Amino acid sequence: MLRGGRWGYDRLQLLARARRADTLELFGRAGIRPGLRCLDLGCGGGEVSFELARLTGPDGSVTGIDMDEVKLALAREAAGGKGLANVEFRAANVNDWAEPPPLTTWCTAGSCSST
C-alpha cells in the first residue's frame, strides 16, 4: 500500500506507466473486451480503471473502489479529462465492502477473474 494523498497518487501514476504493457497483456489474457462490467478493488489513482474503461468501451463500465478520497478525487478529474464516461469511483474500504454489483470481470492486485 502506498502513502495516500497527492504524493501517493503521483507515485501510482509512475508505477502505472512502468507496468502498462504488463497490465494490458494481463487484460488481453483475461479476455477484457467491449461490453464487460468491471470492478477495480483498491483502484488508487485509477490508471488501471482507465485501461479497463478503454477496453470495455461505451457499452461496458468500470467501478473503481478505494479508501483514499484524495486519490479518488484526482481519478475523477482525470477521467473527465480523458473523456471516459464509463468509469466511476467510489470510496470504501475493500476489506469491509459488501455490495458487489453483478459483474463479469474484476481485477485486484494485478490479477483478473471472470464470471
Tally the domains of the chain.
1
Check whether 3 has a pLDDT greater than 90.
no
Within 10 Å of residue 75's Cβ, how many Cβ atoms? 25
- Calpha distance 71→60 (Å, rounded): 23
Alpha-carbon gap, residue 48 to 64, rounded angstroms? 9
Residues 69-79 pLDDT 10s: 998 999 999 99
In this structure, are strands 87-91 and 37-41 parallel, antiparallel, or unpaired? Answer: unpaired
User: Any idea what the CATH number is for the domain that residue 54 is in?
Assistant: 3.40.50.150
Q: Which domain holds residue 76?
A: 5-114
pLDDT tens track for 9-22? 677 777 777 778 88
pTM: 0.78
